[in-house]
Amino acid sequence: YVFQEYALIAELTALENVFLPALALGGNQDGYKKRAEEMLAVVGLGERLEHYPNELSGGEQQRVAVARALINRPEILFADEPCANLDSVSSRVVLELFRKLNKELGQTIVMVTHEPEDRKFVDRVILMKDGLIEKMTL
């Protein structure tokens, strides 16, 4: 799950924030650390592993949140307005990352957004109004 507000733990590095959810599954911590490094590389932050959230831009923090959401290999990645707190450049980076994850890794992503321009990054749009599906486009 990718939160609108990043939800990173300030006292943990980017790497630690990413592999923390994997620890709940038990198992080999070194394996999770390696996977976290891989996920951070996928989101373009392979050089920022040891940086704390306050040392990262908003866009970088959101990409750490995306890597964290992927650490346990979910079938579906849910994202709640992942670009709401980002400038247009950082928003584009995150949306292009989602498209890459979908096209290259086959990751299914369900994203909630209020931004009509986000449509150009997705394959399907489901418009909801008053809690009901109003329109679907492919």
Length of the chain: 138
Q: Where are the domains of the chain?
A: 14-137
pTM for this structure? 0.85
**Structural fold of domain 14-137:** Rossmann fold (3.40.50)
CA–CA dist 45, 133 (Å, integer): 37
Of 36, 78, 102, 87, the C-alpha closest to 57 is 87
Cα of 10 vs its chain's centroid, Å: 18
Q: What is the pLDDT along the chain (138 residues), one digit of tens a residue?
A: 988 889 999 999 999 999 999 988 887 788 889 999 999 998 999 999 999 999 999 999 999 999 999 998 899 999 999 988 888 888 898 899 899 999 998 999 999 999 989 989 999 999 999 999 998 887
112 strand-pairing partners: 80
For the record, the structure tokens of 101 come out as: 């994850």
